[in-house]
Homo-oligomer: A and B are copies of this chain.
Amino acid sequence: MAKRGDALELAVLGLLHEAPMHGYELRKRVTALLGWGRVLSYGSLYPCLKQMLRDGLITEDTAHLQPAAPAARGGRRGKIVYKLTVGGKERFARLVSAAGPSAWEDDSFGVRFAFFGATSRETRLRVLEGRRSRLEERLEGVRSSLARSRERVDTYTLELQRHGLESAEREVRWLTELIDTERVAPPQTGGTDVTATTSSDGTPSAANNWE
């Protein structure tokens, strides 16, 4: 069901969860959030918003000065403010509390981390630990391939791999610090934790959050 690319949708849901916004602003915020590198293109954002509208996750708010004739020519112009629906909020809560493998892939980890404020500490720990294992697996692979091919490869190739290795090791240390902090932190249950809802069948959630 609704097997979309997730990362962008999650970013939009998360940002609109904080406050309604129009597309232009959204682009800037998404770019700043994960962009961190190239900017998100409108050709990517607007179709995504339209799809989310069709899926009933957001509503368009065209509360704006249309002077007299709204111009039949080519359709509307003027700001459109997007706002989360109840369904959108639910979807955000579900996505953000998923603690399965897809949460720590390269593509999604960044967004997931950015919205950690909306999750339970349990979820945060699971995602951080999953991410760390993922990186450690890779690290092991690179280290062994580096050991195998020693002496056989070019200086620059070697230097590139060494640098990559160090970056990953650094990220592992970062994750370890975060994990320790989470574990030590006071048991502040609440905050903006959206996962504390119960599912509609009456049973408490916190099960099936494996996405």
Check B156 against A114 for contact (C-beta < 8 Å): yes
A 152-165 binary contact with B (CB < 8 Å = 1; else 0): 00111101110110
Residues of B within 8 A of A138 (CB): 36-37
Residues of B within 8 A of A170 (CB): 167, 170
How long is the Cα–Cα vector from A115 to B155 in the complex, in angstroms? 10
Main SS class of interface, A: helix
Check A36 against B156 for contact (C-beta < 8 Å): no
Q: Closest residue of chain B to A33, judged by CB?
A: B157
Among A38, A114, A142, A178, which residue has the most Cβ atoms of chain B within 10 A?
A114
Check A163 against B174 for contact (C-beta < 8 Å): yes
Residues of B within 8 A of A159 (CB): 113, 178
Residues of B within 8 A of A163 (CB): 174
A 27-42 binary contact with B (CB < 8 Å = 1; else 0): 0000011001110000
Residues of B within 8 A of A156 (CB): 113-117
Residues of B within 8 A of A211 (CB): none
How long is the Cα–Cα vector from A164 to B33 in the complex, in angstroms? 11
Residues of B within 8 A of A20 (CB): none
How long is the Cα–Cα vector from A142 to B117 in the complex, in angstroms? 21
- In the A-B complex, the 7 residue pairs with the smallest Cβ-Cβ separation, listed nearest first, are A116-B156, A117-B154, A114-B157, A36-B164, A113-B160, A117-B156, A114-B160
